[in-house]
Structure 1
Amino acid sequence: MEEMLIELDPVDRITADAVGTPGSRVFYLQARKGDRIVTLILEKQQVQLLAASVVEILARIGKETGEGPPEEQMGLDEPVLPEWRTGRLSIGYEEQRDMLMLEAEELLTQEEEEQATGEGPADALSAIGPELTVEQEAEEEAAEPEEAEETRDAARARFWATREQMLSLARHGALICAAGRPLCPLCRNPLDPEGHDCPALNGHRQLGES
């Protein structure tokens, strides 16, 4: 069974951004090396945790980190053509190279995950020590699997980046997550333009009604 691994070592640029309007945005992780662009779909929660974890890792390293690419250079390269939806992110720091390595594993369906064998990302990153693992559960497909379908391992992408590049990713990722729908001051859930049935009000009235 062949394993698919994409590795950009090192990246020329790396970013996390979103496309769409608040409430229906799609989040992406994108890295480029030369003419090779790799784009992956993320969940908003993954972007938030990735940003927070990068800041935490840099604080642990204890080295002065420069500003990195400016905010206006952190958008996505076109065309945005995602390879897959990400199920697991792992990040670690390689001290000898003074670089961070971010690995993204494809989100398999429940059946694909049960059939898959081989080394997982936790084993692959054990040498440098993963600092973050963010997972998204796969939804079980309703359709019956085809007989004699060949099993496969989850595809992986591995990106090596400088501390400055990852700090810029963290800052931009935090900004795009904060730019979504405003939160209800009572329940802290996102407010919808059509109205908000606040659980803190037991659903008796919408927020803002008298």
Structure 2
Amino acid sequence: MSRQVHVFRSPDRFLAGTIGQPGEREFFLQVVDGRRVLSVSCEKQQVAVLADRLGSLITEVAKRFGATADSAAPSGTDPLLTTPVDAEFRVGTMGLAWDGEGSQVIVELLALSEEDVGEEIVLEDREDGPDALRVFLSLGEAQHFADQAQRVVEAGRPPCPLCANPLDAEGHICPRLNGYHRGASG
């Protein structure tokens, strides 16, 4: 089976979203362009890292090139995933780049692979690489995605005030209390 590289040059939406209740959520990244919708599944930590790294990239681009994010970011509530959500693949490696000529951020998400994916595979269209999703965003769109993705990550279970591990509705076993069960109410 040959490699598939899904390219979205100017999507209508690029967002992070979840399905399920806090503590049991599945995380997805989804890109929508007209009727074309593509979703990939990922880990919560990957969403957090992508949001953080995008923020760093945007800051660096502003510092080095003087480019600024446009304020055309959508307002109001965060968009929801377009359903049904059918993941094309599970994300393994992620890559970010700045296209100075097009003044765009490039986000590349590569499918989880048993083989090590080297730097030379990311943003290349080689036949021997894993399937990929490549999304081109303006600085404003990238900033909006980073902000929205961070809110999705933070919308989970509240942290324990002692150990910062997530609290379930029925509490958790807190390592700071030598394993005694700590209820959600304190």
1:88 and 1:96 map into 2 onto residues whose CA distance is 25
Tell me the residue number matched to 1:141.
none
Whichever residue aligns with residue 159 of structure 2, its letter is L
1:123 aligns with 2:120: yes
Match of 1:100 among 105, 114, 117: 105
Specify which of 161, 170, 181 is matched with residue 137 of structure 2. Answer: 161
- The one-letter code matched in structure 2 to 1:166 is A
Counterpart-to-counterpart distance in 2, 1:83 and 1:102: 16
- In the alignment, residue 74 of structure 2 is paired with which amino acid? P
Deviation string 1:55-114 (CA, Å, 9 cap, x unpaired) is: 111111112212312242532122211111111111111111000111111113x4xx37
Q: Which one of the candidate residues 166, 171, 181 is aligned to 1:195?
A: 171
Distance 1:56 1:157, change over 3 A: same
The answer to whether the 8 A contact 2:108-2:135 is kept is: yes
Residue of structure 2 equivalent to 1:5: 5
Letter of the structure 1 residue corresponding to residue 108 of structure 2: E
User: If the length of structure 2 is used for normalisation, what is the TM-score?
Assistant: 0.85
Q: Which has the larger radius of gyration?
A: 1
Aligned with 1:103: secondary structure?
A: strand
- Aligned residue number for residue 23 of structure 2: 23
Instruction: Tell me, in whole angstroms, the C-alpha distance in 1 between the residues paired with 2:109 and 2:184.
Output: 42
Which amino acid in 1 is paired with 2:97?
Answer: G
- Say if 1:187 and 1:200, in contact at 8 Å, map to a contact too: yes
What residue identity is the alignment partner of 1:97? G
Counterpart of 1:130 in structure 2 is: none
1:148 is matched with none
Aligned counterparts of 2:50 and 2:20: Cα–Cα separation in 1: 21
Q: Which residue is 1:47 aligned to?
A: 47
Alignment partner of 1:85 is 2:61: no
Segments of 4+ moved more than 6 angstroms:
none
Partner of 1:64: 68
What is the TM-score when the length of structure 1 is the normalising length?
Answer: 0.76
Q: Structure 2 unaligned segments of length 5 or more: list them.
A: none
Which segments of 5 or more consecutive residues in structure 1 lack a partner in the other structure? 115-119, 128-151
The alignment of Structure 1 onto Structure 2 pairs a total of residues equal to 178
Distance 1:84 1:7 in 2: 15
SS in 1 for 2:173: coil
Q: What secondary structure is seen at the aligned counterpart in 1 of 2:182?
A: coil
What displacement does 1:206 show?
A: 2.4
> Equivalent residue for 1:142?
none
Among all aligned residue pairs of Structure 1 and Structure 2, give the percentage whose two residues are the same amino acid: 29
Secondary structure of the structure 1 residue equivalent to 2:29: strand
